[in-house]
Amino acid sequence: MEKMIAAFEARRTFGKILQQVLQGERFVVERNGEAVAAVVPIEVYEQWKQSRNAFFAKIRAAAKEADLPEVEADRLAEEAIQAVRQAPKR
């Protein structure tokens, strides 16, 4: 579960936050009540990068297989990204 923290508080207690992140905690930093950043363990970030790279590799492979022009493949990838970003948060 992630903890919400105001940007000012995050700045003031960043060292403490990093210690908690090392123990597996996750933080969402808010500014004016809006989420603007996340502080997560490096393992979570690395998993995200791997998933993202795998996703784009699949898009490229599908585009090649479908013989889509690169511009069309990019458009489809952008649509997929927007759909994921607009999906309800868990």
Instruction: Please tell me the distance from the alpha carbon of residue 87 to that of residue 53, in angstroms, as a whole number.
Output: 20
Same domain, 47 and 36: no
What is the pTM assigned to this prediction? 0.63
Q: What is the mean pLDDT of residues 21-33?
A: 96
Is the predicted pLDDT of residue 89 greater than 70, yes or no?
A: no
Q: Quick one: pLDDT at residue 68?
A: 75
Torsion angles phi and psi, residue 87, rounded to 5: -65, 150
Q: What is the mean pLDDT of residues 31-45?
A: 95
Residue-number span of the structural domain to which 47 is assigned? 43-86
**Domains held by the chain: number:** 2
Q: What is the mean pLDDT of residues 46-66?
A: 87
If pLDDT is split at 50, 70 and 90, which confidence band does 74 have?
confident
CATH code assigned at 9 = 3.40.1620
